[in-house]
Amino acid sequence: VADAVVGSLVDVVGPGHVLTDADVRVGYEQDWTGAFGGPARAVVRPGSTAEVAAVVDACRAASVPIIPQGGNTGLVGGGVPEGPGPPGRGEIVLSTRRLQTIDPVDAAAGQITVGAGVTLLALQERLAPLGFEVGVDLASRSGATLGGMAATNAGGTRVLRHGTMRGRVVGAEAVLGTGATVTHLRGLTKDTTGYDLAGLLVGSEGTLGVITALRLVIDPRPAQRAAALVATTGFDAALATAVGVHRRLPTLEAAEVVDGATVELVMATLDLPPPVAGHPTWYVLLGAAGPGDEAEDLARALDATAGPSAVGVIDAVVAGDGPRVDALWRYRDRATESLAAAGPPRKLDVSVPVSALAAFVAAVPDAVARCAPGAVLHVFGHVLDGNLHCNLLGVPSGGGHRVDDVVLDLAVGLGGSIGGEHGIGRAKRSFLHLVRSPAEIDAFRAVKSALDPAGILNPGVLLPA
Ligand code: FAD
Ligand code: LAC
Ligand code: ZN
């Protein structure tokens, strides 16, 4: 049976782009965190939209599930096979990495059309010399693809100023689960002609269609970027600093928090010097981007907010040139990989209203200690988005689901969500009901069955079985 499907995929893309050897497949079968994955029947790498459509048709005809995969940097297990289930569940991983076209910039519109398999870094590098940038930025930029970022509605470190992927995507091309190709890439600012299919694909996590191309809004590249790392004695002071600087500095684009334990882990993992003296319990990293002297403006806003009389601020370092800005960002950007090296951690990405952040941060350690004694909690995230990443190292085996439940429940109880930016994937599907009503989940299923009637796209992802 397997060979018949694999044979038809070979007919579509050629033998060089159907990977069946276990040692070649493995990089597509295991997720970035190491917590999810399983054997695939084969990995197929179509090189065009027509080939994606033919792959979907072949799998549909044989009722074989497809797992769309971009850069495989996702953190909720949505882009890899379910495993370790019964052998021969037989999913096909459809890698979009060969969908690599980057059209010329439309400077008048401030837009660009790109293939879904283009990485964020490749697009950043293409745009920079032309005076543009993507608007969204993530630490996983070298691997994450624009298709995957749209499929997860990725956020990252500039949401404060530039929004999430949802605001970037003004058109899409995709092969739906029906096998139909829908193309709407004109990117018109005004276009009141029916349902927003591109918008529906954003955040759909590969369950409705395989995105093959995107029309994206891009931004003029700012002349200057600056960063400040502020060390504080507590979360309240870190939050107050971020809020105060945001109020005073229109060019603020990033406001990130990292707890002291995580900064220490990053330092130990990467052999970095302490950014400031002492042992702060929370750091806040602020980023500004604009036409003026951003370092000076950031320092001034910081002085006005967190001067000598401010409570809880220990020290601050401001950087205005590229290498020093990058050096400060390492203490934040490298948190995920440092935790992975020490883990794998239990990862819980939550969002709560900014006004409830302090209550969440105060309550979460006890909640974790109660149900996962001995686990070490690391928290960092995008503070002014109300989006925190809780990472738990050393959760006793078998205790994972319980601790997920408690932390997610805490966020929901404070008016928040169980997924801020990474999606639901396989990791959180059993918790979806905490934030989505039965009527909403019914509507999700109705959309799913209209666009993927055979249920072959990413079964078991996002929607509980
Ligand atoms: P994959 O991991 O390949 O897939 C993710 C999901 O999208 C899966 O459900 C998959 O089926 C689906 N998918 C992928 N491509 C397509 C397509 N073309 N069509 C349809 N469905 C598709 N995320 C953030 O939001 N903000 C961050 O700040 C951030 N930082 C990160 C830092 C690190 C170090 C790492 C490892 C990850 C980080 N992530 C972050 C998570 C991850 O990078 C994002 O979720 C990213 O959007 C995934 O892109 P990808 O191409 O790797 O997708
Ligand atoms: C980050 C990822 C984990 O913010 O979302 O680094
Ligand atoms: Zn994040």
DSSP 202-230: TT-TTSSEEEEEEEEE-EEPPSEEEEEEE
46 CB within 6 A, ligand 1: no
Residue nearest to atom 36 of ligand 1 (CA): 73
- Per DSSP bridges, beta strands 92-95 and 132-133 are unpaired
210 CB within 6 A, ligand 1: yes
33 CB within 6 A, ligand 1: no
140 CB within 6 A, ligand 1: yes
pLDDT computed for residue 1 by the predictor:
43
Q: How many angstroms is it from 336 CA to the middle of ligand 3?
A: 9
311 band by pLDDT with thresholds 50, 70 and 90: confident
CA distances from residue 20 to 11, 36, 95, 195, 204 in whole angstroms, order as listed = 15, 20, 13, 39, 28
Give the global pTM.
0.97
pLDDT per position as a tens digit, 216-240: 999 999 999 999 999 999 999 999 9
Q: How far, in Å, CA of 195 to CA of 93, rounded? A: 29
What are the DSSP E strand ranges found in 233-312? 252-259, 282-290
Atom of ligand 2 nearest to the CA of 156: 4
pLDDT computed for residue 309 by the predictor:
77
* Distance in Å from the first CA to the final CA of the chain: 25
Which residues, judged by CB distance below 6 Å to any ligand atom, belong to the binding site of ligand 2?
139, 335-336, 389, 421
Q: How many angstroms is it from 225 CA to the middle of ligand 3?
A: 20
Mean pLDDT of 263-287: 95
148 CB within 6 A, ligand 1: yes
461 CB within 6 A, ligand 1: yes
139 CB within 6 A, ligand 1: yes
pLDDT computed for residue 446 by the predictor:
98
Q: Residue 316: CB partners within 8 Å, gap ≥ 6? A: 228, 229, 230, 231, 276, 302, 306
Q: How far, in Å, CA of 358 to CA of 26, rounded? A: 42
| Candidate from 138, 391, 392 with most ligand 2 atoms within 8 A of CB, to mutate | 138
307 band by pLDDT with thresholds 50, 70 and 90: confident
Q: Residue 224: CB partners within 8 Å, gap ≥ 6? A: 289, 290, 291, 292, 293, 294, 295, 320
Q: How far, in Å, CA of 233 to CA of 237, rounded? A: 7
Mean pLDDT of the chain: 95
Q: Residue 299: CB partners within 8 Å, gap ≥ 6? A: 228, 318
CB atoms under 10 Å from CB of 282, counted, come to 27
Quick one: which ligand is closest to 76's CA? 1
Question: CA gyration radius for the chain?
Answer: 22
Quick one: which ligand is closest to 460's CA? 1
pLDDT computed for residue 263 by the predictor:
98
Nearest to 169 by CA among 200, 195, 130: 200
Q: How many angstroms is it from 428 CA to the middle of ligand 1?
A: 15
What are the DSSP E strand ranges found in 61-119? 66-69, 92-95, 111-115
Is the predicted pLDDT of residue 291 greater than 50, yes or no? yes
Q: How far, in Å, CA of 236 to CA of 360, rounded? A: 11
Quick one: which ligand is closest to 32's CA? 1
145 CB within 6 A, ligand 1: yes
Query: Which pair of structure tokens corresponds to residue 148?
Result: 């995957």
Is the predicted pLDDT of residue 416 greater than 70, yes or no? yes
pLDDT per position as a tens digit, 381-415: 999 999 999 999 999 888 889 999 999 999 999 99
369 band by pLDDT with thresholds 50, 70 and 90: very high
Atom of ligand 2 nearest to the CA of 155: 5
Q: How many angstroms is it from 74 CA to the middle of ligand 1?
A: 4
pLDDT computed for residue 243 by the predictor:
97
pLDDT computed for residue 277 by the predictor:
83
pLDDT computed for residue 465 by the predictor:
79
pLDDT per position as a tens digit, 166-204: 999 999 999 999 999 999 999 999 999 999 999 999 999
Q: How far, in Å, CA of 338 to CA of 344, rounded? A: 10
Is the predicted pLDDT of residue 2 greater than 60, yes or no? no
86 band by pLDDT with thresholds 50, 70 and 90: low
116 CB within 6 A, ligand 1: yes
Instruction: Determine contact, residues 363/432, Cβ cutoff 8 Å.
Output: no
pLDDT computed for residue 84 by the predictor:
63
Q: How many angstroms is it from 301 CA to the middle of ligand 1?
A: 34
Nearest to 423 by CA among 205, 96, 147, 168: 205
pLDDT per position as a tens digit, 137-149: 999 999 999 999 9
Q: How many angstroms is it from 370 CA to the middle of ligand 1?
A: 32
138 CB within 6 A, ligand 1: yes
pLDDT computed for residue 85 by the predictor:
55
pLDDT per position as a tens digit, 98-126: 999 999 999 999 999 999 999 999 999 99
pLDDT computed for residue 138 by the predictor:
96
Atom of ligand 2 nearest to the CA of 389: 3
Q: How far, in Å, CA of 165 to CA of 184, rounded? A: 17
Query: Which pair of structure tokens corresponds to residue 341?
Result: 């090296």
Q: How many angstroms is it from 208 CA to the middle of ligand 2?
A: 25
pLDDT computed for residue 260 by the predictor:
97
Q: How many residues does the chain have?
A: 465
Q: How many angstroms is it from 331 CA to the middle of ligand 2?
A: 12
Residue nearest to atom 44 of ligand 1 (CA): 74
> Minimum mean pLDDT among 15-29, 75-89, 420-434, 441-455: which range?
75-89
419 CB within 6 A, ligand 1: no
Q: How many angstroms is it from 97 CA to the middle of ligand 1?
A: 13
Q: Which residues pair with 381 in a beta bridge?
A: 257, 388
pLDDT computed for residue 398 by the predictor:
87
DSSP string, 132-187: EE-S---TTTTT-BHHHHHHTT---TTHHHH--HHHHEEEEEEEETTS-EEEE---
Q: How far, in Å, CA of 42 to CA of 17, rounded? A: 10
Is the predicted pLDDT of residue 266 greater than 50, yes or no? yes
